[in-house]
Structure 1
């Protein structure tokens, strides 16, 4: 259980790290902190005392307590290692090991120490990781946004990274309000290609499954809708199934079972990614439906899962390793610019958008 003084201490520290309290700024008085947290003066003094001892705050007799300028201490400290953090929603699952390997290989060659973090697509975890990174002498960050379809509650931490001149780039998605340098796929076009491939094979009753808390899923769904409209095929609203990250193993499976039991069996499925495709293939096996004879299915990402089962998936190619390596090269260039080892006019680090490409295998057929 968190103690009262540690709660006060963490709150003050978080406000420093997210830029609410800037260096040399006076923090709330002891009386204000007592009222805010409903604690004693003794508790407040313990919390402030520890932050002073750790170099986060300093006291001025008769004036109050102020935020220390930690950047000066870090600049004076001898820097023995170069550090880049890689933050993804997941680390060991799905396509993420390939992305991380691509980045890690290049960064190691360039003499950087790499720290890996996973948010588990959770904003609270993202906040703790950003606080941790802002507490360290980090050179740069490669980060995959958490639940990028939603407004981000941690946006102040990114503003603080910019204020401290710590470069960061985003992969797979980005927070629109920040307009960061990023490496992404043209996911709307990818969703369009998935769906139009099936339409050109004669399919009209196509069910789409899309994750709705990441912008990738929202864009892919838009592509699905656009393909129907472009080809003048009416969309049945019940054929669009959305789910959150927490629901990915349950809701799509349950919804597909309902559709198959309704008597209105679809002829094809468009899936948010290859991982989801395998969950749905289990349902089709259970119902003794054959792919592609009874139902066609298209994945996304061309992950190792696309060829892991007896059904070899038609899917959209994701750059994975290439994306990771390019992200690593870009962050190194930004670090060099920051350190004055490269002139800004000589280096162009710009957003990269990868165009989708359909990989044809045996999970789809012409009606």
Structure 2
């Protein structure tokens, strides 16, 4: 299981303050400088954590005054929850649940299911195949009427295929989101991640960057496809791609030492890349943290591109150029599909969402003179 990031630990600690009454509704949380000192993390890590809590409704900001605990708190999403209604029961399994883009996807699913009187049973795998097995067994035991699932480690062979075949034998429809298992080729709603990776690299190439570092998670097909698009951009623009500038990692590699190792690529001014394309926004902010430790600026020294256009893309003063993920739209479409399938209506076909690059201030034209002086 992946080790939790610093900002998620800070976020959870502040949530504990809220839940146990240390910070009461209407009270101000400690200022940013105090939080930096208390947690021993960077300023942008605090901003990520607080920014997410603001976005999720736990905190609110008052201009020129500070950040406060909300008077009306949202319901937290526990490990496994069930919404009670008079409708049929739809299971939802995601790789993660409480952070990054997943709350938006879940809200899209839940809001539409609730509007149609359906029950929602929700669980997550933490991108672990054994956890996925447990989730599938639980869903089958609960006699769900349909299942929406995000595959676990989709680029590897999945030992849980038999559970999906059991769903088919029981005529229980299921839909996969974000990716799908190639052994099954089920109905799916996904992004064209290959094109997304291409757009990210092409953007930097068009800005004059040639030495571009690509960081890709490869135990999920999303990362494999994003890397493929990254490589294709270099080929189509006739640029050489140095093999050492493509770095891959897996869920288990996401530990502090991995994030620290990223700084290695930027220590030598003569060899450092001028741009970076990241698997997602979360990784991009970790790269940003490493660059700050080396006293390098984005985009003046290094241009940085994320992926998913999550709330993290605008969580710091450096606003990330990022590839847009449909998030809530995808969640709603998944709910519409599964309801149609459960009610024996004609379900919409599988759909591949076209990526869109959202350009912000983390990327800039390559300055050859500044690069030489650096």
Q: Is the 8 A contact 1:184 1:352 kept in 2?
A: yes
SS at match of 1:284: helix
What is residue 190 of structure 2 aligned with on the other side?
A: 184
CA distance in structure 2 between the partners assigned to 1:80 and 1:199 by the alignment = 54
**TM-score between both structures, scaled by the size of structure 1:** 0.75
SS at 1:127 equivalent: helix
Q: Say whether the 8 Å CA contact 1:209–1:252 is kept in structure 2.
A: no
Aligned match of 1:96 in 97, 102, 108?
102
Q: Is the 8 A contact 2:179 2:189 kept in 1?
A: yes
Q: Cα–Cα, structure 1 residues 348 and 114, in superposed 2: closer, same or farther, change >3 Å?
A: closer
What is the distance in 1 between the residues matched to 2:255 and 2:311?
A: 19
Separation of aligned partners in 1, 2:365 and 2:212: 13
Structure-2 separation of matches of 1:252 and 1:203: 25
* Equivalent in the alignment of 2:306: 299
SS of match in other structure, 1:299: strand
Tell me the SS of whatever aligns to 2:148: strand
Q: Give how far 1:250 is off.
A: 3.3
- List per-residue Cα deviations over 1:242-281 (Å, max 9, x = no partner): 1111223435523322212344111000000001111111
Superposed CA deviations along residues 337-367 of structure 1, whole A, max 9, x for unmatched, are 0xxxx4xxxx242101000001010000012
Shift of 1:137: 1.7
Structure 1: any 5+ residue segments left out of the alignment? Answer: 1-78
1:331 is paired with a residue whose SS is: helix
Counterpart in 2 of 1:216? Answer: 222
The 5 A counterparts of 1:218-367 are: 218-250=224-256, 252-263=258-269, 264-337=271-344, 342=345, 347-367=346-366
Question: Does structure 2 conserve the Cα–Cα contact (< 8 Å) formed by 1:186 and 1:353?
Answer: yes
Query: What is the SS of the residue equivalent to 2:93?
Result: strand
Structure 1 position 80, deviation (Å): 5.9
Between the aligned partners of 1:289 and 1:149, the Cα distance in structure 2 is 34
Match of 1:203 among 209, 215, 219: 209
Partner in structure 2 of residue 84 of structure 1: 90
**1:195-224 CA-partner distances (Å, limit 9, x unpaired):** 000000000000000001000000000001
Whole-Å Cα distance in 2 between the matches of residues 357 and 177 of structure 1?
29
In the TM superposition, what are the counterparts of 1:105-124 in structure 2 within 5 Å? 105-124=111-130
Q: Is the 8 A contact 2:341 2:347 kept in 1?
A: no
Q: Which whole-Å CA distance do the structure 2 matches of 1:255 and 1:194 have between them? A: 23
Pair member with larger Rg = 1
RMSD: 1.3
Runs of 4+ in 1 over 4 A off after TM superposition: none
Distance 1:303 1:355 in 2: 17
Contact kept, 8 Å, 2:194 with 2:229, in 1: the verdict is: yes
Question: What whole-Å deviation, never above 9, does each CA across 1:300-325 have from its counterpart, x for those lacking one?
Answer: 01100100011001110110000000
State whether residues 315 and 358 of structure 1, in contact with CA within 8 Å, keep that contact through their aligned partners in structure 2: yes
In 1, are the aligned partners of 2:112 and 2:336 still within 8 Å (CA)?
A: yes
| Separation in structure 2 between the aligned mates of residue 124 and residue 80 of structure 1, nearest angstrom | 32
Aligned residues of 1:274 and 1:303 also touching (Cα < 8 A): yes
SS of 2:92's equivalent in the other structure is strand
Cα pair 1:241 1:252 within 8 Å, conserved: no
- Please give the alpha-carbon distance, in whole angstroms, between the structure 2 residues aligned to 1:288 and 1:180: 48
CA distance in 2, matches of 1:317, 1:191: 11
- For the residues of structure 2 that align with 1:80 and 1:300, how far apart are their CA atoms? 39
296-305 vs 262-271, which deviates more? 262-271
Long gaps (5+) in structure 2: 1-84, 367-374
* 1:33 equivalent in structure 2: none
3-state DSSP of counterpart to 1:300: strand
